[in-house]
Amino acid sequence: MGFFSKLFKGPEIDMEKSNLNAKKMRTLFNQVVPDGDEYKLIFGYTEDVSRFNFGFVHGSKTKIGNLIVGWNEEKETIIVVPTVPDLSGCGDATYYRRNEILKAYRNKYPTDAFIIYPDKKGYIGINAYDWLEDEKLYVYVSQEKELAEFTDFFMNRYATK
């Protein structure tokens, strides 16, 4: 691989580390969700830390809340579990059942986020990407395939028209 292909490709992903973090995510998720193995998982984050106040990341101008996001197509349910970047612990699970939410859509600007309005008082914006560089702020995990599956589920089965 030449210099320019490295330059444009982005950082190399450490798959061993990514897989280890994916296993930690699964373990934490299953600790707080009784039927956790029935859910597919991605890592996400939110700036809506008033709703998820577990393990705020300090030293950032914007407070970021790290999230383990699980989804089940059959149940049309998304479960969000707040965590910290080193996956040393997690908070309580919040369930978003399709039939209980007011609105859900994908907002492309200013950031690409999955927006859920569970009630009239507020919303949750889930940002999710395939591996984020700053390990002090985000969990190091490669999830291109999982993110594509979640996006498909959200847009075709979960989002309101």
Residue 122 lies in a domain: no
Domain extent, residue 152, equals 9-100+127-158
Residue 3 lies in a domain: no
Residue 109 lies in a domain: no
Residue 50 lies in a domain: yes
Half-sphere exposure for 20 (CA within 13 Å, toward CB): 9
Residue 115 lies in a domain: no
Summarised one tens digit per residue, pLDDT across range 95-142 is 999 999 999 999 987 778 999 999 888 888 999 998 888 888 889 999
Q: Is the dihedral of CA 24, 53, 143, 133 positive or negative?
A: negative
Reported pTM? 0.86
Residue 2 lies in a domain: no
Summarised one tens digit per residue, pLDDT across range 55-77 is 444 444 556 788 999 999 999 99
Which alpha helices (H) appear in the chain, and where do they start and end?
3-9, 15-32, 144-153
Residue 61 lies in a domain: yes
Per the structure, how many domains does the chain have? 1
